[in-house]
Structure 1
Amino acid sequence: MPSGTTEPLVVAGAGIGGLTAAVALAAHGIPCSVVERSPALAASGYGIQLPPNATRVLHDLGVSLDAVSLRPEAREIRRWSDGALIGRVPLGSAVVERYGAPYLTLRRADLLRVLLDAAGPVHFGRSWAGECPVIGADGLHSAVRGLMAPDAPEPIGFTAYRAVLPPVTGFPPVVTVWLGPGAHVVAYPVPGGLNLVLVGRPSLDGWHAPVRDLVRAAGPMRGFPLYTRPPLPAWHRDGSVVIGDAAHPMPPFLAQGAAQAIEDAFALPSYLHDLAAFEALRRPRTDRVAGASSAGGVEYHLPDGPRQRRRDEHIAAASLSGQDWLFT
């Protein structure tokens, strides 16, 4: 981005990446102006998982989520038909001890509200109108991305159905994932409720009764088709740059989309005058995470058979140390 300017940078998008970028820029003494085309902060009460690679960044920026989050004790993978435990990886204190930051579950709206309080004023109801330089944090349907390539979102063939239930008596304080043919279900507590996500076919005939009971209790679940976009030839052009989903959208199967946007936002202020170096730093990381996320769309939905059994053996042998590449 050009040096010597006295005008504040424009950040397009008041989502997780854009607000974190505003906080990070302020920490470097760099003024910015955040514009958001929506008339108000997104009000979604759906849940989100924040792994330690994200919460460590937010802690370093002075953003505390303690009052609005929970710390699940583990991540459990279970079988679709009978709920049998396939594998378990500890989270809770084990994650803090190993990575120096917690694994959190919370409501997306609460995360955005805390980031907004830290980021300062946002100009709602305003779209990016060609200001340069601009930091495009405007998500999957990014307008800023159009500076880099004339592509469009492409469906990946999955729909995520989401709901937040009232607290469910007896549900353990863990992130639980049931894997089955053509679908998987994720459930985890958030403050004041239980977040539920079903990805794949909405019919769960033959699934373990407690899973079907959760989906039934949720009532009609809102469906969100999942999309991707082709890799950009470059994340920057003429002093503008894209981050987060605007640069590298990825499916949610590793719960890393928001975390990678937060990582981008944290790194960017040190590279404003060398955006090629910023991309060289971040792109290998996001490419690897996106590739692993995309692989989950196949591995999570395998029909019963030899390949499914090999997957389950791998999951059973997994340990927290296997997440070092992702959580560090």
Structure 2
Amino acid sequence: MFKYGVERTTENSAKSDKSATESETGSEAGWCRAAMPSMAAYELVTNKLFSPTSTFEQMKVIIIGAGLSGLSTAIALRKYIPANQNLEVRVYDNINPHHNSNQDGPSPKVSTSRLGAGLGLQANGLRVLGDLDHRLREMVYAYGFPCTHFTWKTAGNYLLGREYLDVLPISRPLLINCLQESLPEGTVIYKTISRVLARQGQKPMVQFEDGSPHEIADLVIGADGIRSTVRRDLFGDNEKYQPEYSGICAVGGVLDMSLPQHLVDDPTMIFFTGPTGVFGYSGLTQSDKNKLLYWSVYETDLPDRGAELDHNVITRQLRERHGDWADPLIGRCLRSANISHVFPIFVMPDLPYWGRDGCVLIGDAAHALPSRTGQGASQAFEDAEALALLLAGYIQKGDGPLDEAISRSILGLFEVRSPRVRAIRADGLRWKQPKMPMSWLKTCSLYVALFLLIRLRNFMGLFKRQDAWNVKEEVTRYLVYQVSSTRD
């Protein structure tokens, strides 16, 4: 097996990025640098080593899940699969955000009236979007609130430190809107998948809950999240491969509230940590200084799935956790908050593979990460680009049937990507969350540990950054290795 680790990543990327952007000026320079990877190396490999002489009559791809990983994969396939290859991509999702009941057929864009949960998109995720479509990257950047660092504070509003990295807070539904607008109308179909059959020696089959005729595809991509139907059908009910509850939940939302001047002058994501959890806030979008994104992360038992939530109780608990914290903006958030959803945070254990027999897992379905890594969305985008590049490379090689190109791409995705996400997950799990509520002594110990950890991470970031990993360079290296191994 090709040994491929995250430690082999960033030196060449950093050099090429630096030389490409030394003349840039302005607040967007760092983001531009992150969005300008080396395309030349990948094109050289696929054009020189893989002779683009073979095409297949038809390739049908079904993507299950219209979230970040599913939509970005659809975009990546349309971007990288050779133009002379007849490609059909369908995206199925069981949640229609516009109707109370699921309906077959395409649906309009996600409503922005429910801004919902936000996320932090790091520079490597933005780089992938720039690879896929520079207009998409610009649209996402404009909708977000670009920050250059995290700010960590105590519950008493004392500064613990600043962690320097580029991050773009953005509303998840707005980000999904941007992705959908990059796809042709009708690509996303709202219809519930009941089962996916991965059949050895045959193409995978997708079955629908409503009993409508099944569909056969050359490739089925499970981008259906932590409770993945595709993963269940690949691994069954084996407990070893089920998501593990991390012991914490998150709540939050978007408030119509003017941003404090310090946040306008120094855009940052601010995290307050204390004896009862973490509270944070940032701006939501640079175009509207009256939208505040806030969140609270806290320890609790896993809520019963499907249980009716008492929103008044959840909101009251939020106020109890943070009501005596010193930052005045937290108090304003608590007075205005009306919690409608609780998000349990799960982590995926290592899977022995991500796909077989024409089915593959990506995103949270394959490797849900701890929330403290801040890399969930960016890793979904990296998966999407890596899979599309691998598939395009093997199709261009053209020395075997389509199912062989797909099988090699599925294996390649696992070998390129799994060491990367395992390293990120290990880093996120290295910090053990203390039992809450914490005593005064434990809280002080936490503050000291965070004070030191922030400085250590800033120092380590001088040598190796998670957001410097470059998908195209890693896929190119992998394809070169595969070609040289075959020749040997």
Q: Normalising TM by the smaller chain, what interval? A: 0.7 to 0.9
Alpha-carbon shift at residue 300 of structure 1 (Å):
11
Aligned with 1:261 (options 380, 388, 396): 380
What is the match of residue 230 of structure 2?
A: 144
Tell me, what secondary structure is at the counterpart of 2:74? helix
Q: Does 1:216 align with 2:339?
A: no
* Aligned Cα root-mean-square deviation (Å): 2.5
Tell me, what secondary structure is at the counterpart of 1:39? coil
Tell me, what secondary structure is at the counterpart of 1:250? coil
TM-score, structure 2 as length reference:
0.60
Structure 1: 5+ residue stretches without partners: 96-102
Aligned with 1:174 (options 260, 264, 268): 268
Q: Does 1:189 align with 2:261?
A: no
TM-score, structure 1 as length reference:
0.86
What is the match of residue 99 of structure 1?
A: none
Q: Does 1:326 align with 2:466?
A: yes
Aligned with 2:348 (options 218, 221, 229): 229
Asked whether the 8 Å contact 1:148–1:232 carries over to 2, the reply is: no
What is the match of residue 162 of structure 1?
A: 252
How many matched pairs?
315
In 1, Cα distance between equivalents of 2:324 and 2:456: 27
Residue deviations 1:14-73, cap 9 Å, x none?
100000000100012343211111224655512221100000000111122233122124
Alpha-carbon shift at residue 314 of structure 1 (Å):
2.5
What is the match of residue 100 of structure 1?
A: none
In 2, Cα distance between equivalents of 1:313 and 1:297: 15
Asked whether the 8 Å contact 2:61–2:221 carries over to 1, the reply is: yes
Q: Does 1:290 align with 2:354?
A: no
Tell me, what secondary structure is at the counterpart of 2:353? coil
User: What are the within-5 Å matches in structure 2 for residues 113-132 of structure 1?
Assistant: 113-120=177-184, 121-128=186-193, 129-130=195-196, 131=205, 132=217
Percent identity reads: 26
Distance verdict in 2 for CA 1:224–1:136, change over 3 Å: same
Residue deviations 1:234-276, cap 9 Å, x none?
1112121000000011221121111111100010013332111
Alpha-carbon shift at residue 13 of structure 1 (Å):
0.8
Structure 2: 5+ residue stretches without partners: 1-54, 82-86, 98-108, 197-204, 206-216, 300-317, 392-404, 469-488
Tell me, what secondary structure is at the counterpart of 2:322? coil
What is the match of residue 6 of structure 1?
A: 58
Moved more, 177-186 or 206-215: 206-215
What is the match of residue 22 of structure 2?
A: none
Asked whether the 8 Å contact 1:14–1:122 carries over to 2, the reply is: no
Residue deviations 1:282-325, cap 9 Å, x none?
00111111222234562797732445413312214542861743
Residue identity matched to 2:74: A
Moved more, 215-224 or 260-269: 215-224
In 1, Cα distance between equivalents of 2:161 and 2:387: 37
Aligned with 2:449 (options 303, 310, 319): 310
What is the match of residue 207 of structure 1?
A: 325
What is the match of residue 277 of structure 1?
A: 412
Residue deviations 1:139-194, cap 9 Å, x none?
11111112331244432211101121113341512110112224111211012411
In 2, Cα distance between equivalents of 1:159 and 1:38: 22
What is the match of residue 121 of structure 2?
A: 50
Distance verdict in 2 for CA 1:50–1:299, change over 3 Å: farther
Moved more, 223-232 or 254-263: 223-232
Alpha-carbon shift at residue 124 of structure 1 (Å):
2.6
In 2, Cα distance between equivalents of 1:183 and 1:48: 18
In 2, Cα distance between equivalents of 1:287 and 1:300: 25
What is the match of residue 98 of structure 1?
A: none
Residue deviations 1:118-141, cap 9 Å, x none?
122333322335334201111111
What is the match of residue 161 of structure 2?
A: 87
